[in-house]
Amino acid sequence: MAQRIRLDSFIAGSFVIGLILVPCAMSAPAKPSKSQSPTPPHSIVATGTPFWHNPCGTLLTYDGSGGGATGAMMSSAVSHDIMMESEPESESVMRREEDIIHGIVVAAGQALTHAEQFTGAFVVETFHVDVKKNHDHWKGIKLDWLELAKYMPKALDVPLSKSYLASLTFRDVLHAVYIGMQNLAVGLEQVAWDQDREMLPYAKYFNETTLKLRTILCEVSMAIYEINDTPEPHVSRDIMPIESRISRDNQSLRDWLILREYMTSLQYVIEAFGYLKTKR
């Protein structure tokens, strides 16, 4: 398309026009097929504490003294420091960063493998084309509220440039990924919530993506504490427009765009941290 279309402002007319303007032999997204069983009463939006607010499951505190995390998570950091006690500080920090990067990359790799295992079937069943054709058709449409271009600027399956990678720093990438992944968590939570609430066929898989994402956020948040930094304030559910939550006209397209950006962000994490590891 000649210009980027915001999903939030889609109406039926523009949806049809979009299909005409973009030459592609594919049909509109299929309406999600519901189970014949009646859907039990269920809030439209998830309630309770968002999973990304405390991804490790244990409350961490930061006292600003340079001592890093305190509380239940402190034991692993302390034991690590004891093992490194006899080494020069610079070597200890470098090795610690290598361990941190390894944990993040492994978690992201496992999450990406999981997403790829069900994405093909989800796209074929929903859009009646394969993933590549579907991506090519909708790649001009973005969800601006995710702000991924700000935190993790990347396109699906397009490698990061060498010049961009060379500009990255470990600290900056940690903080950017921490915010960007929380933004994605807001969207994935809603997708999983809708799939479960409406008893749709991919509820299990989208719920599993939230668990995978939680693991990554735990790794990243622990890494921020490990380098004695303070994480940014938690992202609120309010960043996702209510129209994106309640509209059923383009729910399948919304779900694909969030899933696409989730996989793109995982590729970003693997590439960015993988590059930083080579510079340790």
Question: pLDDT tens for residues 6-46?
Answer: 444 433 333 333 333 333 445 456 555 544 434 444 688 89
User: Which two three-digit tokens encode residue 26?
Assistant: 């594919």
pLDDT at 29: 65
Q: Using pLDDT thresholds of 50, 70 and 90, give the confidence band for residue 1.
A: very low
Q: What is the mean pLDDT of residues 161-186?
A: 97
Can you tell me the distance from the alpha carbon of 19 to that of 27, in angstroms, rounded to the nearest whole number?
8
Q: What is the mean pLDDT of residues 243-268?
A: 95
Can you tell me the distance from the alpha carbon of 238 to that of 50, in angstroms, rounded to the nearest whole number?
12
pLDDT at 78: 32
Return the H-helix or E-strand segment holding 65.
none
94-103, 188-197, 234-243, range with the lowest pLDDT: 94-103
Can you tell me the distance from the alpha carbon of 176 to that of 165, in angstroms, rounded to the nearest whole number?
14
In the predicted model, is pLDDT for residue 255 greater than 60?
yes
Bridge partners, 155 (sequence order): none
- Comparing 88 with 197, the larger pLDDT belongs to 197
In the predicted model, is pLDDT for residue 134 greater than 50?
yes
pLDDT at 93: 59
Bridge partners, 108 (sequence order): none
**Mean pLDDT of the chain, nearest integer:** 80
